[in-house]
A and B are shown apart, each in its own frame.
Chain A
Amino acid sequence: MSLVEIVLAVVKILILALFFLNMAALSTWADRRQGAMVQDRVGPNRAVVYLPNMVARVIVLLPPALFGVLAIFSSLGQLAGRAAAERFTMNVQLTILVAWFSLLVLCAKVRSGGAINRAEQMFEDTDPRSIFFAGLGVHAIGLVAGRLVPPAAIPLAAQVSGFVLGGVFLLVGLYATSRVPDGKIPLRLAGTLHALADSVKMIWKEDFIPKNADRLLHGLAPVLAVFSALAVMAVIPFGNDLCFADGNKNGTLDLSDLGHLLATVPASGACNGFRVKLQIIDLNVGILYVFGIAGTGIIGAAIAGWASDNKFALLGGLRASSQMVSYEVAMGLSLVGLFLIYGSVRMSDMAVWQGQNAWGVFVQPLGFVLFLTALCAETKRVPFDQPEGESEIVAGYFLEYSGFKWGMFMTGEYIELVFSSALLVALFFGGYSLPFLHPDGLNIAFGDTVLFQYKMTHLAVSLISAIAFFGKTVFVTWVQIFFRWTLPRFRYDQLMKLGWTKLLPLAIANMMVTGVVVLALRNAGPAADSWLKLLADITQGVVAVATLAGFVAVVVGLLEPVERKKFLASSAARFAAAMGGVKPEPQQA
């Protein structure tokens, strides 16, 4: 293994580990925050840092100023050909995005805090949704108008649009800085600081070990729990491959070659230089490695329950081990159908197959439901949280843990949650692929009918695919967090019955039916193949349209002005209000 490979591996490990750890911390926050939103109360937001006014102003000014200067400087040099066209489109779209987003923030600010000058007054009665719709419209107009620019003028247009983008960035930054109020600025980051404060607290808490506990195993258990959660991420592909040319013609990939990223690759993704996969290691056993390592997570829970010298913990450990062993069977079998279709257990092959054909959730809907259920049971989340069942066995296997060891269990659990989302994305939601995005660019085609084609550079495709993967993972994590708070938990024997008498037979049936169908289709001939290709393209189209519609719906839903009906304030609240007090009225239902 050469030096450059080690460097690349370390960089990839850092990217993934940072993503998983940060997402784990964020999802502890999101878990509580979402629960709070469902229940219409305020979530965790007590942790606060007071920034000196100057620091706050610098923090507000710095990012837009940096981006603005970057945009201007990068536009100084002349670009040509496809790169110029791409830069032009990107600049225009970014300018529009920054403009409507800033207007939206300003509008929200004016609606909540009042206008400070004549120009802001016109936002007082503006519906934020109309700004959003207008922004979308301008985006579309920008796309069409960009195509009208004559090819000769494209390099100049790229430069000018870069300057405009830089100017907008600087303008927005300066205006936002001028709106920072005087005095110290409380920084809450929507409550995410709470997760940070919690971890600081956990480090300083007493690490309590029961008198008769097995000290070694008691300490080892949380390490095992976190280890398995962190080690599984090695085989997850998180972006399209990067392809480097052999710059110094010596036949090996070395550091100087990293500067020679190929500008374009063919649609097949073939690479006649050095291929660097955005995946820590591409094992040939792929998903089997995931099952193997994830299975060791049981050991942590079981040892914790046994070593704690507590009967509730013992019961929790027993439940954890039996539950995870039972559901691992169903989990493995529910994926066999998928392997038959993909023809591989290698994670990178799966992502490529899904990018070229259809997403896994369309070819294996039943397998998806079964896998999702089993995955929930494996990550021990509601409604499968028997091992913890706080009202039955208090806290289950980590009952006797405190301080950072407890924190490690919790971190491990949330990393598992994020990882399970990443796994769902890799197996069923197309991995890093986006509909119609091929290694050589956008190519909207149904069967052999090409509707729209747009060539892109290789780097852009890889970046977009990596962003797509992380974005999908964040979304699936968010959905998984929603399962909580409303579902009651199973009873222990009901859970076992579900696993062995429902999931397992269904998984086996799914496997058999898939096998028969796959065999029949392979022998069906070219006509069937082209039909399948068309079907696959239609699913991609459905995904693309549904994603856009879902995005618009979510944003519009978020922008909807909230009107809370105040109802029947108690006399104490009314009294306090009459005296100029601040007691909030409890009936903001």
Chain B
Amino acid sequence: MEPLDRDLEEGLLELPSEPMMLNMGPSHPAMHGTVRIVLELSGEMIQKADVQIGYLHRGFEKMCERGTWTQIFPYVDRCNYVSPMLNNVGFALAVEKMLGVTVPERCQYYRVALGELARICDHMICSGAMCMELGAFTPFLYFARAREIIWDIFEEETGARVTHSFGRVGGMASPPTKHFKDMIRAGVPRVLQLINEGEKMLLKNRIFLDRLEGVGVMSKEDALALGWTGVVLRASGVPYDVRRAHPYMVYDRMEFDVPVGTTGDNYDRFMCRQEEIRQTWRIIEQALDQMPDEGPINIEDPRIILPPKQDVYTTIEATIQHFKIVMEGIKVPAGECYSYTEAGNGELGFYLVSDGSGTPYRVRIRPPCFATTQGLEQLITGLMIPDVVPTFGSLNMIGGECDH
């Protein structure tokens, strides 16, 4: 028998309805880093998503063209305010590549140890914030407390808790303190203990797993096509880690595993981050063991490194040297280079062009988040509004470096 309504178009049988437009952000509790998503909703299903960035744009690249090379360090700090040390180190390495110098071994270990501490902070806060937005508030506070321990170490070493500006071209601002190794050996195990406690609350919780598993799946091919790097790419199944693929500093002497996911969903991204924290601790342990206790931290080149303050006040040579570096900047030979490191979110690249003067001609940053965020639209289309929260959270978008 034929259906009675065969003459009617399907649409006529239902009430007229049109998708609802919903502006999520830029001021929204889950849109950390101020991003705006314009959603087209059918009920709670997202039919179309338009991710709009740029609300934290401060003209980072243009700002870099008007100071000396050294004055850029505070800017890169603020690019990724969750793990500034990694950005500091990344930029210092880029300029050193242009100059063709290598910092002493002690400094390399120092940079590795500090940078990996920052990586722990970064992963921890990303996972914690995601849990908090899902409604589990306590793990976030556990992780935040663990971060305090690391920040205390940073405060002791650099004098600042968040934006250290500690990197220098050709070294670091100051040598490690006397208790550097002891502090880390005492502090980080406690951090791991807190992370385990926080994880215990989450990974046996059916609700938490249901919210993550199979949500926001990104295939290996798509992730590569989007230019993803870092944890999000590894969670999709590509074992690409700059520290392993193109080792810089002393990473080739370190023994560590690169955690790789299988499906590329939110759960894999979460678990990859958690595992990477543990691998990071392995790296820190090895770096501390191998790091010499004595030796110079900066290279010995008066054209690059500031003289000791005492000499500046007492000798004319040092005064001139100080004056030249501060007023004119470090003379970087003309040319261009691309230098890349593994930052908290993936491959952090600096493309530098120098005209031979003390001021950069062009500084181009390749922030990992920029590539990551462009995949968000693909991830959330077809999901529901609540899924935006863990998906966006697991990408760990950092507005400061995304809007460069």
- Interface set of A (CB-CB < 8 Å, partner B): 35, 38-41, 311-312, 315, 382-383, 385-386, 389-394, 485-494, 567-572, 586-587, 589
Contact = CB atoms under 8 A, between A and B. Distances in A.
B201 A589 contact: no
Among all A-B residue pairs, the 10 with the closest Cβ atoms: A489-B135, A488-B134, A391-B133, A570-B152, A488-B136, A39-B141, A488-B135, A391-B30, A491-B386, A488-B208
A38 B137 CA distance: 10
A569 B205 CA distance: 34
Contacts of A311: 20, 22
Given A392-B389, A394-B29, A491-B210, A486 B134 contact: no
Contacts of B132: 391
A485 B138 contact: yes
Interface residues of B, number: 43
A35 B137 contact: yes
Contact of B136 (A486, A490, A569): A486
Contact of B138 (A486, A491, A586): A486
A568 B186 contact: yes
Contacts of B148: 586-587
Interface in B11-58: 20, 22, 28-30, 44
Contact of B155 (A312, A385, A489, A570): A570
A491 B29 contact: no
B187 to A, nearest CB: 6
Interface string B61-81: 000000000000000000000
A567 B190 CA distance: 9
A383 B152 contact: no
A572 B155 CA distance: 8
Given A386-B386, A392-B389, A487 B135 contact: yes
Given A389-B386, A571-B156, A587-B148, A487 B29 contact: no
B388 to A, nearest CB: 7
B97 interface: no
Contacts of A385: 135
B384 interface: yes
A486 B387 CA distance: 19
B141 A488 contact: no
Contacts of A487: 135-136, 205, 207
Nearest to B141: A39
Dominant SS at the B interface? helix
A572 B160 CA distance: 10
A41 B389 CA distance: 26
B194 interface: yes
Contacts, number: 105
B253 interface: no
A496 to B, nearest CB: 11
A492 B386 contact: yes
Given A391-B134, A570-B156, A489 B207 contact: yes
Interface in B200-239: 201-202, 205, 207-208, 210-211
B149 interface: yes
A488 B187 contact: no
A389 B205 CA distance: 19
A176 to B, nearest CB: 37
Nearest to A41: B141
B387 A491 contact: yes
A35 B142 CA distance: 12
Interface in B166-208: 183, 186-187, 190, 194, 201-202, 205, 207-208
Contact of B29 (A391, A490, A492): A391
B145 interface: yes
Contacts of A571: 152, 155-156
Contact of A568 (B135, B183, B207): B183
B277 interface: no
A171 to B, nearest CB: 45
B138 A488 contact: no
A338 B267 CA distance: 41
19 contacts: A35-B137, A312-B22, A382-B135, A389-B135, A391-B135, A486-B137, A487-B135, A488-B202, A488-B211, A489-B134, A489-B135, A491-B211, A492-B44, A492-B384, A492-B385, A568-B187, A569-B152, A570-B155, A587-B148
B117 interface: no
B44 A315 contact: yes
Nearest to A586: B148
B194 A488 contact: no
Contacts of A390: 29
Interface in B74-132: 131-132
A253 B323 CA distance: 102
Q: B29, B44, B132, B135: which has the most chain A beta carbons within 10 Å?
A: B135
Contacts of B133: 391
Contacts of A490: 207, 210-211
Given A383-B207, A587-B149, A491 B156 contact: no
Nearest to A311: B22
A493 B384 contact: yes
Contacts of B141: 39, 41
A490 B135 CA distance: 9
A394 B205 contact: no
A570 to B, nearest CB: 4
Given A489-B207, A568-B183, A587-B148, A392 B138 contact: no
A490 B215 CA distance: 13
B376 to A, nearest CB: 16
B211 A392 contact: no
A158 B132 CA distance: 59
Contacts of B387: 491
Contacts of A568: 149, 152-153, 183, 186-187, 190
B33 to A, nearest CB: 14
Interface in B248-276: none
Contacts of A491: 210-211, 384, 386-387
Nearest to A36: B141
Nearest to A494: B210
A478 B387 CA distance: 31
A394 B27 CA distance: 10
Given A385-B135, A491-B386, A568-B190, 18 more contacts: A39-B138, A312-B22, A383-B135, A390-B29, A391-B30, A391-B135, A392-B385, A393-B385, A486-B138, A487-B136, A488-B207, A489-B207, A494-B207, A494-B211, A568-B152, A568-B183, A570-B152, A589-B194
